[in-house]
DNA sequence: TCTGGGGTCCTAGGACCC
DNA sequence: TCTGGGGTCCTAGGACCC
């Protein structure tokens, strides 16, 4: 029988912070999104104070102060590194691992030959905890959707000790009757509303839904979920991530932007970063979309603009992408608005070495390779942002805030934790 | 009165995920 | 004053083709 395990880190970003700062243990902790905008990770102590996922920080600033909540900016460098270490541990417990997100992985535990899978999962948990310091939960099920559901139960029923096994059908049905349908993986608010209309409220209700009705109501995606809930796998383990189709860099400004030079600078900075990401993945794009818009939270006139430009050949050359992005911004710029966000996206990505040459007007690839190679080498040696195109600006008053970021303990020599011994 | 059939490709928008 | 970022997949509709 097929058995999937879903392992994820509890309050993952907060747990990462606690690994390196034990003073945070036992205290409510939250980690904020980019720009210190809203809470994206909360420990149970913080949830108990009523802090929700996505809660805007300026609305809970006083609450956090009054209750001694530790508030941190997100430190993706640190979280990414700990995530990689956790996945190395998973590899010791299954030869087949799919890294699903920064804090979740699916493991294929099929064919473990009569081993006690729950015991195996408990051992995995204990090992991850000991070797990385991160607490996890594990859900076991015959399909991915059921493994996710088991993981949800493992999180919400403390008596299970962090491991929930839903491979046994009778036990599964009984448990599913107590789980709200909104907790099923792939069922979002719009689907919940539709399902509620036909009296479908629990995971068990959804598992019993007629396939044709599920398809009509929720498209093939919903029909697949019904099969998966019934224990019939439709989703496979994806050990090798398929080539990504798009790549984007989008940011809220730390303050509103209302003049063209600043917008040009910000978009240039995003484009520079996009080019770095493309090169890191060995990808190139010949379609670039640039957008910026005002905030619906603001009073005053609203406006959003977007322009897609086609390049003569697919590339990840910073300068080529910069000139395309600049032209796009100038073409769609409109005065008189206070813009809150801008972004650049490449779509329809291809592998850089497979980019076709155009008949006319081709880029000088050799020259580009030498220049960009030198750029990347400097930034690899001295840190990202050491050498930037002038168009991307130096002072960057619009740039994202990270006012409460913890040190990048595991990836920056100059930010290593310091231990002092008295003697 | 009556106006074919069957494709492909692209785009925009919706929904969902972490 | 202050409300995240980056993905995936599906569908519908229009343009275009023979």
Domains of chain A (ranges plus CATH)?
Answer: 102-229 (1.10.150.20), 246-392 (3.30.1490.100)
Per the structure, the residues numbered 320 to 359 in protein chain A that have their CB within 7 angstroms of any atom of strand C are 340-341, 343, 345
Per residue of chain A (423 residues), give pLDDT as tens.
899 999 999 999 999 999 999 999 999 999 999 889 999 999 999 999 999 999 999 999 999 999 999 999 999 999 999 999 999 999 999 999 999 999 999 999 998 877 899 999 999 999 999 999 999 999 999 999 999 999 999 999 999 999 999 999 999 999 999 999 999 999 999 999 999 999 999 999 999 999 999 999 999 999 999 999 999 999 999 999 999 999 999 999 999 999 999 999 999 999 999 999 999 999 999 999 999 999 988 988 989 999 999 888 899 999 999 999 999 999 999 999 999 999 999 988 999 998 888 877 788 888 989 999 999 999 888 888 888 888 888 778 888 777 888 888 888 888 888 888 887
Per the structure, the residues numbered 297 to 326 in protein chain A that have their CB within 7 angstroms of any atom of strand C are 297-298
A366 is catalytic: no
Nucleotide nearest to A56 (CA to C1'): C3
Strand C bases, protein C-beta under 7 A: 1-11
Tokens matching residue A190 = 């719009």
Å between A190 CA and B14 C1'?
10
Contact A38, A32 (CB under 8 A): yes
pTM of the model: 0.93
Question: What pLDDT sits at residue A375?
Answer: 92
Å between A116 CA and C15 C1'?
59
Question: What pLDDT sits at residue A365?
Answer: 86
Strand A339-347 to strand A283-294: parallel, antiparallel, or no bridges (unpaired)? antiparallel
Q: A371: number of CA atoms within 13 Å, CB side? A: 13
Question: What pLDDT sits at residue A25?
Answer: 96
Å between A251 CA and B13 C1'?
22
Strand B protein footprint, C-beta under 7 A: A 100-104, 148, 184-192, 308
> Between the CA of residue A31 and those of A12, A18, A89, A312, A344, what are the distances in Å?
10, 11, 25, 42, 26
Å between A306 CA and B12 C1'?
13
- Quote the CA–CA distance of A83 and A102 in Å, as a whole number: 6
Nucleotide nearest to A274 (CA to C1'): C6
Question: What pLDDT sits at residue A333?
Answer: 94
- Quote the CA–CA distance of A188 and A177 in Å, as a whole number: 18
- Quote the CA–CA distance of A140 and A128 in Å, as a whole number: 17
Question: What pLDDT sits at residue A142?
Answer: 97
Strand A339-347 to strand A4-9: parallel, antiparallel, or no bridges (unpaired)? unpaired
Strand B bases, protein C-beta under 7 A: 11-12, 14-18
Angle at which helices A318-332 and A260-280 cross, to 10°:
150
SS3 annotation, chain A: CCCEEEEEECCHHHHHHHHHCHHHCCCCEEEECHHHCEEEEECHHHHHCCCCCCCEHHHHHHHHHHCCCEEEECCHHHHHHHHHHHHHHHCCCCCCEEEEECCEEEEECCCCCCCCHHHHHHHHHHHHHHHHCCCEEEEEECCHHHHHHHHHHHHHCHHHCCEEECCCHHHHHHHHCCCEHHHCCCCCHHHHHHHHHCCCCEHHHHHCCCHHHHHHHHHHHHHHHHHHHCCCCCCCCCCCCCCCCEEEEEEEEEEEECCHHHHHHHHHHHHHHHHHHHHHCCEEEEEEEEEEEECCCCCCCCCEEEEEEEEEEEECCHHHHHHHHHHHHHHHCCCCCCEEEEEEEEECCEEHHHCCCCCCCCCCHHHHHHHHHHHHHHHHHHCCCCCCCHHHCCCCCCCCCCCCCCCCCCCCHHHCCCCCCCC
Question: What pLDDT sits at residue A358?
Answer: 80
Question: Could you count the other beta carbons within 10 Å of the beta carbon of residue A156?
Answer: 12
Contact A167, A110 (CB under 8 A): no
Per annotation, catalytic residue among A45, A104, A223, A354 = A104
């Amino acid at each position: 029988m097929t058995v999937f395990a879903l392992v994820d880190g509890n309050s993952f970003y907060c747990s990462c912070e606690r690994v390196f700062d034990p003073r945070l243990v036992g205290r409510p902790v939250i980690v904020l999104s980019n720009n210190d905008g809203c809470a994206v990770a909360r420990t149970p102590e913080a949830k108990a104070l009523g802090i929700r996922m996505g809660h805007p920080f300026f609305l809970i600033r006083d609450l956090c102060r009054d209750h001694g909540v530790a508030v941190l900016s997100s430190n993706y460098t640190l979280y990414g590194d700990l995530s990689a270490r956790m996945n190395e541990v998973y590899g010791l417990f299954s030869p087949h691992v799919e890294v699903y997100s920064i804090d979740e992985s699916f493991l294929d535990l099929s064919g473990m030959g009569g081993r006690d899978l729950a015991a195996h999962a408990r051992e995995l948990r204990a090992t991850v905890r000991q070797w990385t310091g991160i607490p996890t939960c594990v859900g076991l099920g015959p399909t991915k959707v059921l493994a996710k559901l088991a993981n949800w139960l493992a999180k919400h029923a403390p008596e299970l000790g962090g491991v929930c096994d839903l491979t046994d059908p009778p036990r599964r049905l009984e448990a599913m009757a107590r789980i709200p349908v909104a907790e099923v993986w792939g069922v979002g608010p719009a689907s919940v509303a539709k399902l509620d209309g036909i009296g479908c409220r629990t995971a068990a209700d959804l598992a019993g839904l007629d396939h044709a009705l599920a398809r009509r109501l929720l498209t093939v995606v919903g029909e697949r979920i019904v099969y998966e809930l019934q224990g019939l796998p439709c989703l496979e383990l994806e050990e090798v991530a398929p080539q990504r189709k798009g790549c984007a860099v989008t940011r809220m400004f730390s303050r509103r932007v209302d003049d063209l030079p600043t917008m040009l600078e910000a978009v240039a900075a995003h484009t520079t970063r996009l080019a770095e990401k493309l090169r890191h993945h060995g990808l190139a794009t010949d379609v670039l979309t640039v957008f910026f818009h005002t905030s619906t939270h603001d009073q005053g006139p609203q406006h959003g603009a977007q322009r897609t430009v086609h390049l003569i050949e697919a590339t990840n050359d910073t300068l080529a992408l910069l000139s395309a992005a600049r032209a796009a911004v100038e073409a769609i710029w409109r005065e008189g608005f206070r813009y809150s966000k801008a972004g650049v996206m490449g779509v329809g990505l291809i592998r850089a070495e497979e980019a076709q040459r155009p008949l006319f007007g081709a880029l000088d690839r050799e020259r580009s390779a030498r220049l960009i190679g030198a750029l990347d080498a400097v930034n690899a040696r001295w840190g990202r942002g050491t050498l930037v195109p002038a168009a991307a600006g130096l002072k960057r008053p619009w740039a994202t805030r990270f006012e409460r970021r913890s040190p990048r303990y595991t990836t920056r020599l100059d930010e290593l934790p310091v231990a002092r011994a008295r003697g």
